[in-house]
Amino acid sequence: MSLYDENADVLRAMAAAGDKLGQPRPMDFNHLFPTRDGAIAFARRTDAEGLTPVVRPYDKPGFPFDVTVTTQAVIPTCAFITATEQRLAAIAAEYGGLPDGWGCMEP
Quick check: 88 pLDDT over 90?
A: yes
Residue 55: strand pairing partners: 67
Give the Cβ contact number of residue 65 at 10 Å.
22
pLDDT tens digits for range 16-51: 999 999 999 999 999 999 999 999 999 999 999 999
Average pLDDT over residues 78-102: 97
Burial of 52 (C-beta count, 10 Å sphere; 0-12/13-18/19+) = middle
Give the Cβ contact number of residue 94 at 10 Å.
11
Q: Where are the beta strands (DSSP E) in 20-105?
A: 28-33, 52-60, 63-70, 98-103
pLDDT value at position 87?
Answer: 97
Average pLDDT over residues 51-56: 97
pLDDT tens digits for range 57-69: 998 899 999 999 9
